[in-house]
Amino acid sequence: MSTTYTLDTSTSRANPTPKPMKRLTAPAIQRRKKDGATEKPIVMLTAYTARMAQILDPHCDMLLVGDSLGQVIYGLPSTVPVTLEMMCAHGAAVVRGSYHSVVVIDMPFGSYEASPQQAFESASHILKETGAAAVKLEGGEAMAETVAFLTARGIPVVGHVGLTPQAVNALGGYAARGRSDAEAEKIVGDAKALDQAGVFAIVIEGVVEPIAIAATKAVGAPTIGIGASAQCDGQVLVTEDMLGLFERTPRFVKTYGTMAETIDETVKQYAAEVSDRSFPTEAQTYQPKS
């Protein structure tokens, strides 16, 4: 039986409550794409905490514990400094907070590139520490051997092509990829190589739309777009971007909420009530028993 975590109103801490629901699996996600088409697109969002996982889980097929947590949670300039320990800590929290979605955890920069053996050690450590279902790694044809090595040893893998944030120093920034014929051909070739190596899904990030469509049509695995195309087999966004928690977001983000404004107004009210001593009231304090 799967487990989700509900908020205990007496302690404000997460406590486990059994749920009679089977968690989705990597093969179930892969089977969404039949004969080159996905009738029901895959819904994916990032999650870094148990509470956010609780809220997102009923609406998502996949939750990605992205190394974007380096920027979103820790205020780092890029994903490059993120460590395996960070990913494991947040990954375990997201698994504890969900019961339905496939939880996928990014392998951080430097934890898998050296060799397939290094990748297996890192991936197996992640899955053991977190209870997640799969890992994600960046890179195309160059990582195909590693993907095949992992999948042959029972580790489900999500690939990632196009704009690969861990390679930001080599790419020279976060500009869209695939504008030249050579780069477009490489992106499609990378997707094919990962597909043949055994990934069960491929994230296509920050590429011009015709290339995202071509890559989606070229592979058997479902593609998940971010800054790509609605014709991908699914979509993913950084949740905090979608909720409007940052002043600046990438152009491919649709802001579905204004959470930063809500938080600002809420805290402003709290600060005012603390300042004029109208909070706490008798309702929020403990009185002597009569």
* Tens-digit pLDDT profile for residues 25-60: 999 999 999 999 999 999 999 999 999 999 999 999
Check if the beta carbon of residue 47 is closer than 8 Å to that of residue 91.
no
Q: Which residues are annotated as a binding site?
A: 67-68, 106, 136, 138
Q: Which residues are annotated as a binding site for Mg(2+)?
A: 67, 106, 138
The pLDDT assigned to 1 comes to: 37
The pLDDT assigned to 2 comes to: 47
For the chain, the straight-line distance linking the first and the last C-alpha, in angstroms and rounded, comes to 47
The pLDDT assigned to 12 comes to: 52
Q: How many other C-beta atoms can be found within 10 angstroms of the C-beta atom of residue 21?
A: 12
Active site amino acids = 205
Give CA–CA dist 151/193, Å, rounded: 14
Q: How far is CA 181 from CA 89, 158, 161, in A?
A: 41, 26, 16
Say which CATH topology domain 2-258 has: TIM Barrel (3.20.20)
- Reduced to 3 states (helix: H, G, I; strand: E, B; else coil), residue 141 is helix
Q: Which residues are annotated as a binding site for 3-methyl-2-oxobutanoate?
A: 67-68, 106, 136
| Tens digits of residue pLDDT in 93-135 | 999 999 999 999 999 999 999 999 999 999 999 999 999 999 9
The pLDDT assigned to 275 comes to: 98
Task: State the average pLDDT over residues 128-143.
Answer: 97
Q: How far is CA 90 from CA 1, 63, 70, in A?
A: 22, 12, 11
